[in-house]
Structure 1
Amino acid sequence: MATLTIKTADELMALDVQDRWRTRRAGRETQVSKQVLRAFVDHGGPILAEDIAAAFRDIPAAAVHQALAALDHDDLLRLRDGQIDVAYPFTASPTPFVIRLPDGAERFACCATDALGVAPMIGRAVQILSRCHHCQEPMEFAASPDGPGPSAGGVMLWIGTRADRGERRTPPPRARVLPCSKDSSSATASSAASSSRGQVSQSDISPWRNTSRNHQATAPAPTMLDCET
């Protein structure tokens, strides 16, 4: 039987998960990692590893490829056959979390938390589009570098722990959008409680503003978001 706990964004960020996010963020502060993320923003994925290496004139290509391999090993991106198809928060494969950039281009986020963090990461406002996991109601809301906009009022971030964490070197599903109504929320909570997910918590993303800078954040409109840790 799973335990359902409701937490505010501040309470969630105060948990041990914040230290884990901080450690992962440090791994993304390298020039090679930033170049990969920049390529996903500019062109979408997958990204050729050789294109990343070519972007550095003062660093030997072998060193760049070694850095990419290290990022792959640390589960910060996924490198396969010379291509990068996942670089958190982005993935080249379609997911329920669509990020619409200011120029109208769309990118896929790996999970709910990743979607919320795109605006703070790129320093520009974006639109987040998804669907309620329970009723499939479409949702859309704005998110700025300071956090989700007013249209995200009432949205919850649903975070669960996988019963079998297993091999994490795969892209989503790490997260799903959940209830857009109280009835949907109750139905989803019952479903989670009867599953093998383990502990589940919800967090109102409305106050999830500057705290989103500590990681990558996310959210869609009248709903809840689910992200496995």
Structure 2
Amino acid sequence: MSISVEEGGPDLALLSDPQVRDALSALMNESRLAARWGGLSPETRQVHQEILRTFLTEGAPPAASEFRAETLADLAARDLVHVRDREIALAYPFSARPTDFRVRLRGVTIHAICAVDALGTAAMAGTAAEVTCVCPICRTGVDITVASDGFAVDHASRPEARVWTGVKDVGTCAADSQCKTMRLFCGPEHLAAWRRSQPPSARGFDLSLTQGVQLGAAIFRPFMQSPHDRAAS
């Protein structure tokens, strides 16, 4: 991958598991990374981080009117932040509306866009997080505590849970495409049942909870890092 961590690219140093590396390469190929981070100005990145910081501290996005329309349009073209009905609707990994993926950290509850987004929030925020993901088959809530380092599982109510990371064309918005196939299942049986309902051509990776956390950490940890943070890590 030609986009470095300093530019916002995934933190490959966090990954030793070859299956997670393969999943990351499939999800975040070079063209997608270049479209997302290539040529991003420091000012625009600062706005992106400010939006994420507000989600982390308030559980909701700031008003879109606080930012220049051109800056928000650039972030939307990069599929980082999307404004809908004149409000910030999503800023990966967060959704302004309730989802099946809830994160609690520092007393704040936030909704994530998909399972991997939820599992990667602790690494991005630099603190432990309590994650609840709803199995799409039985609607059981699976509770996971992600360690403060952001890439280990401290506790899971269903240790056998599986994380499916679907691989498909992203288009202009991953939340409307790829993210819909990135789910957490209460166990392998319900993942298998869900996969039988999908087209035979559907591709993806079947990951454990720990693997899902590590994938999310590699993607999202760089989002909030400053140059000083990256130099010290």
Q: Considering the TM-score relative to the shorter chain, is it more than 0.5?
A: yes
Seen in structure 2, the aligned counterparts of structure 1 residues 120 and 166 have a Cα distance that, compared at 3 Å, is: closer
Q: Secondary structure at the match of 2:106?
A: coil
Counterparts in 2 of 1:156 and 1:183: CA distance versus 1, 3 Å: closer
Asked whether the 8 Å contact 1:155–1:206 carries over to 2, the reply is: no
Deviation of 1:203 after TM superposition, in Å, equals 1.9
AA paired with 2:121?
Answer: V
Corresponding residue to 1:78 among 68, 77, 82: 82
How far did 1:168 drift?
A: 2.8
Tell me if the contact between 1:21 and 1:214 (Cα under 8 Å) persists in the aligned partners.
no
User: CA deviation digits over 1:157-200, x for unaligned, max 9?
Assistant: 212234x76653765862453432343233223223xx366223
Cross-structure match for 2:57: 42
Indicate how the Cα distance of structure 1 residues 132 and 211 shifts in structure 2: closer, same or farther if over 3 A, else same.
closer
1:133 maps to amino acid: P
Higher helix share: 2
SS at match of 2:197: helix
Which is worse superposed, 208-217 or 113-122? Answer: 208-217
RMSD, aligned α-carbons = 3.1
Q: Distance in 2 between matches of 1:133 and 1:9?
A: 23
In structure 1, C-alpha distance between the alignment counterparts of 2:96 and 2:166, rounded to whole Å: 24
Asked whether the 8 Å contact 2:165–2:182 carries over to 1, the reply is no
- 2:119/2:213 contact within 8 Å kept: no
TM-score (norm 2): 0.69
Larger-Rg structure? 1
Alignment of 1:55-204 (within 5 A): 64-103=68-107, 105-144=108-147, 145-152=149-156, 153-162=159-168, 168=173, 174-175=180-181, 177-192=183-198, 195=199, 198-204=202-208
Number of corresponding residues: 196
Q: What is the rounded CA distance, in whole Å, between the counterparts of 1:125 and 1:28 in structure 2?
A: 30
Contact 2:117 2:216 in 1 (8 A): no
Instruction: Give aligned-pair identity as a percent.
Output: 25
Contact 2:103 2:112 in 1 (8 A): yes
**1:148/1:90 CA distance change after superposition, 3 Å:** same
- Cross-structure match for 1:12: 23
Give the CA deviation at 1:83: 2.0
Give 1:125 shift. Answer: 0.8
TM-score, length of structure 1 as denominator length = 0.70
CA positional deviation for 1:206: 1.7
Extract unaligned runs of 5+ from structure 2. 1-17, 222-233
Unpaired runs of at least 5, structure 1? 1-6, 54-63, 218-229
Higher relative contact order (CA 8 A, sep 6+): 1
Amino acid corresponding to residue 142 of structure 2 in structure 1: M
